Each structure stands twice: as C-alpha cells, then as structure tokens.
Structure 1
Amino acid sequence: MKYGCQSMVEEIQAILIKRPQEAFISQEHLDENWKNFKYFGCPDYATVLKEYEVFEQIIRKHVKEVYTLPADERTGLDSIYAHDPLKITKKGAIYFPMGKELRSKEYLATKAYLESIGIPTLGEIQAPGKMEGGDVLWIDEKTVAIGRGYRTNDEGIRQFKELTKDVVEEYIIIPMPHGDGVDACLHLMSIISFVDRDKAVVYSKYMPVFFREYLIDKGITLIEADDEEYDYLGTNLLALKPGQVVFIKGCPKVQKQLEDLGVEVLTYEGKELSYRGTGGPTCLTAPLYRI
C-alpha cells in the first residue's frame, strides 16, 4: 500500500475514518460518557448518523481509497476524531500516546489496524513525551510546525524530531496559549488550516506574532476567522486537494472569503457530530497518502 502524508493540501489518495457506529456506539453510550469527554452537551445519536452520512459521502466521492477503523474496547467517544493518534510520514506512521487520559490507548487500536493493511510503523512517542496529531502541521514536505501546549510537550517534540530527522529539514515550534484552560481541546490546527499551497484560514488572536509574520513572508494569504466562527470550528477545514475543502456549515463569513478566492467549499451539517466534541473535518479524518 502507498502511504505518506507530509502535506496538508496535496490531493488525498487514501484516508482513514471511524464511523459513529464504532465510536459513539449508541445514544445510551453517549448519555453515559459525554460528560467525561467534556463535550458541549450530549450529541443526539440519530442526528449524528445523518450528519455523518453526508460527511462520508463527500469523502468517498473525492477520495479513491477510504479505510474505516473498527470498534475497539481501548477507545472511546473521541476515537471518531481519527486524526489525533498519529502522523503518516514517507517512512511510516508515528503514533502518539495522547495528552487526554481517556485517549491514551487509542493509538494502539489505530496502529494494529494500519499495520494490518500494510502501513509500517516508524515509531511511537514514549512517556513522558506527549503529542497529538492536531499539533503537527506540515508547511511543506520538508517543513513542519509543531504546537507546544497542554497536549504536546517538549519531550514529545524531541522524540518526534529524532524519528523524522531523515525526512524533515526545518521544525518550527509554536508556543500555544492557555486559551480556555488545561482541559480545552486547543491544538495548533485549531488556529490554522491550509486550504491551498498559498492560502490558510487562521484565528490570529491565538497565533504568535513570529509565526503569523513567517506565514505572510512565505506569501501565504491569511483568511481570518472572527471569534464567533472560530468557536464554531471555522478554522478547522480539510483540504481534499489544493483549493477544494470540506467545511462545517454555519461559518458564512469564512466560507464567503474562501469562495471569493476561488476555493471550492463542500459543506456538511456538523453541530452534533463535530461541534459537540470540538472536532471538525480535519479531526474526523487521518489522510494516509497525499500526492
């Protein structure tokens, strides 16, 4: 199987998802667990299924190979957000024991599945290192930005650098703000999503000045989300290919800016599926191969 995903925007050829049937399980399971996972209210399971059907149809229409994670007792509700336990490099997958305790064994389930379909393991981040996929942002094939915050620590970054030293030339470490606190899901990719090689949706309020200036100096057009649309995941977009993105409905100001710049925006209703658990279309997917 072909693999390797050192880009946020090149065309996705293979992708990994996990359906709500295997993650949320049932309304009863959601009722029992949503508070422990600190969701913004309990998702309505029937609505989740409808929202996910639309989302999955978009993915299957535009991506050649779609792989689905099975149910696994080592995982919980958040495993529907398949992006965070790993990153796929050209040398194989790197797995993360995530900072959120309830997700600490999730990577084991993902690793077992991906090895079963032929994706080799490059390594794992070992404790006391912590890292999550949402903190690892490819600027280009040889350059990676890493958010250093509550979910990703210095030791995790050190190990990631060691594992990727043969395929990465530049690391940009981004100090993350306290934001809404220790328990909030704040990743680097919460405040920036590339939608094309030279365009990104951003929430500048949480972005260090040096990083914002770095992006501008590279010629990247910054599409700004305001407070309201940031709160509704307006900076969490999945690029299927340069200039074509999947986006949650409900952020019209960001959507208009994108469309005015010629970006094709494919939308899905996501209040129950995405907003409740703070996981937009990027979080719902783990691209395995981009070219």
Structure 2
Amino acid sequence: MSAPLRRVLVRRPSTGGDFAAADWRTPDPALLASQHDEFAALLRSLGAEVEVAAPIDGLVDAVYARDPALVTGRGAILFQMTKPVRQPEPELLGAAFERAGVPVIGRLTGAAVADGGDFIWLDEQTLVIGRSYRTNEPAVAQLRALLAEEGVTVVSVDLPHAGGPEHVLHLMSFISPVADDLAVVYPPLAPVSLMQSLEARGITVVPVDDEEYLTMGCNVLAVRPRVVVLVDGNPRIRAALEAHGCETHVYDGSEVSVKGDGGPTCLTAPLWRD
C-alpha cells in the first residue's frame, strides 16, 4: 500500500447523471472535471505514470476506480458489486485494465460481492478484507482461493454496522497505511483484531479526529513510504503526518471527493508498485 506507485489508473468523471440516486451531493460539473484533472497531474508530478480511462456517461460512481476490482501480482480480479447503479462497472474497468496491459485473471461469481474499498495490504503477502454490507463471506472465500495461488494470506475482519446498509462504510474509510510502520486510522470504527494486528506488527497509528474523519482525513494515498496525498481541508491530520516525517500533498476535492464520499485512494486503481 505504500511502496512506490509506478503506474496507476484513474477514470475521468461523468459530469452528467443521477447524482442523487448514487448518494452524491450534486457537484459543479466543471469543477468536478477540473479537480480530477488536477489530481491526475499531481500524481504525475510525484512520479507515477497515470493511465486515464474515459468517463462512462451516467455512471457517476465510476470515477472511484478502486472499487470494482483488485489488482494482484498476476493481474486483476473483477468483482460483482452490491450497489445497483455500480453493477456495470467491473467489466468496464476490466476492459480499461486490458487496454493498459493488465490481464484479467479472475472474477467473483455466484453470490459473492465486494467493493475494493474493503481491501488493504498489510504487506506483499497479507491482504486484509473487511466484511461489510458491500463485501460478503462468499467473496472472502473466493478471493482466498484465488490468491492462494500467489501465496497470499487473506485475513477478514468484520466491519461495524455504523450507519447501516445504506451508508457506505469501507475498511479504507477508517484506515490508510502510509508506510510499513505507519497508518492513519479512525480508531472508533476500527475492529479490535485489526488494531491488535497493527500493534503486533509495530505499526504506529496516527489517529484522525471525529471532525476530520467526516472530511475524509482518514483517506490517504501513499505514493511512496511517507509521501502522501490527501484531500485539502484536513490540517490536523496533515500536521500529524508531517510530525511523523511524512511529505504531504493536498488537492482540492470539494466536488470529486467530498460530494461523492471518495478520497484519493478511491480515485485510484494502482497497477504497479515496487
């Protein structure tokens, strides 16, 4: 999650569509597009090769390219998604992956559903999956089998009910690893077993407060260890990260992030870290 980000895929936002049905606060279309362009430019300036997929008209959530799939060392695994308006996205993202040279190596089937926001890598061989209203046990089982071929250990943790099934609570809503020994966390929502795993691994927790949790202060993208990108408007977590030796970069996400509840990790599908 914090190894140098060499290649990443982003998808330009659809500036038209039923934002209310997708649970967005209606954004300004011009600002939505320009903020996404500026975000991609920031990633390029930090050394990443950025693959830009075309917008999908009417699918406003598709800008959050993290959720429809998981990229592993062998290629991409496409999900099935619970949110009705997002169900076309995995196959469309799979096509974008293949255009970028990333093969599709598997798909969730049957009753299995998942969102990419429920996945974090604690190291190259340990994947934590949050079981949530968006990611279920059949998905955990199928991914455990698929990833066993790569020697990956899958650990699942149960997410809290919080706002219920209509509210998007992902694992990455409350944790972002930013170095091998450092993670941004909103402790009130973190499962005990996950907090214990962080402690056992010697990972220091940088806590986000209640106010900045609501403005995505916990959603932090590492482009390399201790070099991070976060939504502007979260000065306390930014200062805390800098106190832990991080180089911080911010972008204006008022439309592209805050109004759709998707921060910089949500906007990115990492293709290659080393």
Q: Is it true that 1:69 corresponds to 2:62 in the alignment? A: no
- Out of 4, 23, 35, which is 1:51 matched to? 35
TM-aligned CA deviation for residue 90 of structure 1: 1.1
Displaced runs of 4 or more, over 6 A: none
- Residues 143 and 168 in structure 1, CA contact (< 8 A), matched pair in contact too: no
TM-aligned CA deviation for residue 169 of structure 1: 3.9
What residue number does 2:273 align with?
A: 290
**RMSD across aligned C-alpha pairs, in angstroms?**
1.3
Equivalenced residue count is: 274
What residue number does 1:225 align with?
A: 208
Q: Is it true that 1:42 corresponds to 2:26 in the alignment? A: yes
- Out of 221, 233, 236, which is 1:253 matched to? 236
> What aligned pairs does 1:105-120 form with structure 2 within 5 A after superposition?
105-120=88-103
What residue number does 1:3 align with?
A: none
TM-aligned CA deviation for residue 249 of structure 1: 0.8
**TM-score, normalised via structure 2 length:** 0.96
- Residues 203 and 224 in structure 1, CA contact (< 8 A), matched pair in contact too: yes
Structure 2 gaps of 5+ residues are none
- Out of 13, 20, 30, which is 2:6 matched to? 13
- Residues 10 and 241 in structure 1, CA contact (< 8 A), matched pair in contact too: yes
- Out of 172, 180, 186, which is 2:169 matched to? 186
Q: Deviations over 1:126-149 (max 9, x none)?
A: 131001111111000010100001
The 3 A distance-change label for structure 1 pair 53 and 119 is closer
SS at match of 1:78: helix
Answer with 165-174 or 200-209: which moved more: 165-174
Percent of paired sites with the same residue: 37
* Structure-2 separation of matches of 1:9 and 1:265: 14
Q: Deviations over 1:52-83 (max 9, x none)?
A: 2321221111234211112346x600000111
Q: Deviations over 1:67-114 (max 9, x none)?
A: 1112346x6000001111111111111011112111111011111121
> What aligned pairs does 1:1-291 form with structure 2 within 5 A after superposition?
8-20=1-13, 23-24=14-15, 29-30=16-17, 33-39=18-24, 41-72=25-56, 76-291=59-274
Q: Deviations over 1:1-57 (max 9, x none)?
A: xxxxxxx1100111000122xx23xxxx25xx1110011x21111222332232122
* Structure-1 separation of matches of 2:35 and 2:71: 27
User: What is the identity, as a one-letter code, of the residue corresponding to 2:115?
Assistant: E
